[in-house]
Amino acid sequence: MNQPAKRRRLALSPSRVGDYRQCPLLYRFRTIDRLPEPSTVAQVKGTLVHAVLEELHGLPRDERTYPAAVKMIKPHWAAMTAKDPELSELVPDEDYMDFLVEARRLVKGYFLMENPSGFDAESCEKFVDTTLPNGVPVRGFIDRVDVAPGGQVRVVDYKTGKKPIPRFAGQAMFQMRFYALVWWRLFDHIPEQLRLMYLKVHDDMVLSPTPAELNYVEKDLARTWEAIGDNARTGNFAPKTSKLCGWCSFQKICPAFGGTPPEYPGVPPEFA
């Protein structure tokens, strides 16, 4: 008999912090209720391109070419659809070629931004999981970490969507500072550079974090974790409406739109 999947402890990641700030009820549905959500074409396209770039950096330097990367797209998509057949319905036959062309365009965007044969990544899709000194559990995946011969660290994140205009870039910058903070607490070294690569537009955002910035992020995470704990103990995760509600898959069960949420599953053990 198959054993039930072990429950993963709650922790903060850039996505979960973003959910809570956008709408506490969204955070509850995704993290505490763990309600299923349909995938989107944009999400699976991003997953596909990330998988291709991860494999690319695992090849010997002289094999990290654009044609080699393009040849990886179809096999990775086949593996994804074999694992989740519903993806084939998300990208039906009539849309398949356009989907592949767009994925290829994103991979091309990567090669227009850097030459992967000129360096070796320290790691790709690196899982980080720790508890900050203030008691806040954090985790996530870093797309790529580069370490220069002199020991300088660069944290890289690939973006397959549009590059936000400066006044809407806060979440992207927070994500990178989040990972810089986690790296600092894990390895006692602040990354010298944080780089977000927007493959669609062949442009990037580069940050050089300071101790003051990362200390602020750490305190901000403590405030967020405390607020989540207060909500978790009462079960009161209030909806927060915005323009983003139009893209929310939980609108039918959201009280802000006349819906009824499922019964609260109870206080998570992290906050009991």
Q: How far apart are the C-alpha atoms of 82 and 29, rounded to whole Å?
A: 28
Q: Is the dihedral of CA 27, 33, 38, 42 positive or negative?
A: positive
Q: How far apart are the C-alpha atoms of 183 and 63, rounded to whole Å?
A: 30
Between the alpha carbon of residue 78 and those of residues 71, 85, 197, the distances in Å are: 12, 10, 26
Going by the DSSP 8-state scheme, the letter that residue 107 receives in this structure is H
**What single letter denotes the amino acid at residue 153?**
V
pLDDT value for 95: 95
Question: Taking the CA atoms of the chain, what radius of gyration do you get in angstroms?
Answer: 20
How does residue 5 score in pLDDT terms, banded at 50, 70 and 90?
Answer: very low
pLDDT value for 6: 64
Between the alpha carbon of residue 216 and those of residues 65, 188, 193, 212, the distances in Å are: 41, 17, 18, 6
At residue 147, the 3 state secondary structure works out as strand
Domain assignments of the chain as residue spans, ordered by start: 41-117, 123-218
Tally Cβ neighbours within 10 Å of residue 225.
23
pLDDT at 1 over 60: no
CATH topology of domain 123-218: Lambda Exonuclease; Chain A (3.90.320)
pLDDT digits (tens, 9 = 90+) for 249-259: 999 999 999 99
pLDDT digits (tens, 9 = 90+) for 53-85: 999 999 999 999 999 999 999 999 999 999 999
pTM assigned to the model: 0.92
Task: Give residue for tokens 């499922």.
Answer: 262
